[in-house]
């Protein structure tokens, strides 16, 4: 079975933790163990988030440049290489002798996507209200509430096409475990002359994972995060986990557009497009989610 595994950025650096290298290395050892369990029996392609990491890179660059902004596609490329290297190193220890490669991946988006007028994708660390107000005034950033604190949000256009898909397919068909399309890939647009230009945005990694899985003809898509399942009435006393969904059921749910919404949307799109199943749940339960024993499974009725 061919399985695309998407590792959530917040499964790699948990809420409240700083994304320093020691913490990330420890989280990635846990992630590698989960991936290795699936890779022992199946053909695996890995993608990942980087919301906390890309936000920290943006802060560091702004400080060094005296407040001057660097486009988000540059940070996407930088963090894709950084996290891909760390995942590859962890997987090499968990899967000795396995051929593994990290591939920087460009993903085409529509420069006219309405998402550019409605920033929604959280990145970076969490701030209190006063800190957020200061950054809004100083840098023009947009923030949304995330629990008792606030987090920066940026445009998240819909991924259209993965430019390196033929290369990824070639590597997979030759037995390589590929790490690619990190943070949803590097957002780019193609001009009328075919020239590639970077786009100042962050692509949702779950939506990109669904495009990747469909393009590779994968059988399953696993969206792994820090929560155990999709919940109905999340955040209320009536919240309850959902074990199974059809694509139609998924479309009827009302979910947070900055977190669980894109995961369910991506899972439903993959299954509606011909995938056998998509699973959403905790990183450490990857094998059980694939087997339908944990998390939320999306499949046709």
Q: What is the DSSP string of 18-71?
A: ---HHHHHHHHHHHHHHHHHHHTTSEEEEEE--HHHHHHHHHHHHHHTTT----
**CA–CA separation, 54 and 153 (whole Å):** 12
Which two tokens mark 54? 């890309």
238-248 burial code (b ≥16 CB/10 A, e <16): eeeebeebebe
Taking each continuous run of H as one helix and of E as one strand, the counts in the chain are 10, 17
Length of the chain: 301
Q: Which residue has the tokens 């890779």?
A: 39
CA quadruple 84, 89, 90, 95: dihedral sign: positive
Cβ atoms < 10 Å from Cβ of 49: 29
Q: What angle do CA 205, 206, 208 make, to 5 degrees?
A: 65
Q: Give residues with Cβ within 8 angstroms of 76, minimum separation 6.
A: 50, 54, 182, 183, 184, 185, 186, 187, 202, 203
Residues assigned a catalytic role: 9-10, 121, 205, 263
C-alpha of 58 from chain center: 18
């Amino acid at each position: 079975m061919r399985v695309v595994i998407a590792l959530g950025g917040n499964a790699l650096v948990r809420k409240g933790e700083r994304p320093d290298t020691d913490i990330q290395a420890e989280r990635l050892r846990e992630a590698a163990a989960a991936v290795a369990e699936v890779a022992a029996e199946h053909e695996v392609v890995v993608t990942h988030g980087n919301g906390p990491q890309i936000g920290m890179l943006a802060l560091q660059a702004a400080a060094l440049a005296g407040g001057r902004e660097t486009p988000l596609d540059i940070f996407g490329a930088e963090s894709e290489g950084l996290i891909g290297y760390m995942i590859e190193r962890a997987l090499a220890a968990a899967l000795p002798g396995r051929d593994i490669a990290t591939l920087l991946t460009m993903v085409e988006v529509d420069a006219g996507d309405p998402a550019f007028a409605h920033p929604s994708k959280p990145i970076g660390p969490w701030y209190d209200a006063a800190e957020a107000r200061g950054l809004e005034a100083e840098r023009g950033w947009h923030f949304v509430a995330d629990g008792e604190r606030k987090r920066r949000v940026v445009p998240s256009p819909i991924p259209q096409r993965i430019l390196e898909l033929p290369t990824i397919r070639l590597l997979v068909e030759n037995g390589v475990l590929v790490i690619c399309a990190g943070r949803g890939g590097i957002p780019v647009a193609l001009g009328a002359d075919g020239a590639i230009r970077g786009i100042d945005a962050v692509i949702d990694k779950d939506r990109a994972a669904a495009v990747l899985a469909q393009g590779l003809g994968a059988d399953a898509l696993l969206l792994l995060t820090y929560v155990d399942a999709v919940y109905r009435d999340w955040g209320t006393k009536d919240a309850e986990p959902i074990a199974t969904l059809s694509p139609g059921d998924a479309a009827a749910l009302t979910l947070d557009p900055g977190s669980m919404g894109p995961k369910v949307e991506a899972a439903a799109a993959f299954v509606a497009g011909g995938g056998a199943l998509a699973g959403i749940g905790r990183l450490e339960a990857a094998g059980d989610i694939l087997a339908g024993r944990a998390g939320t499974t999306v499949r046709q009725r």
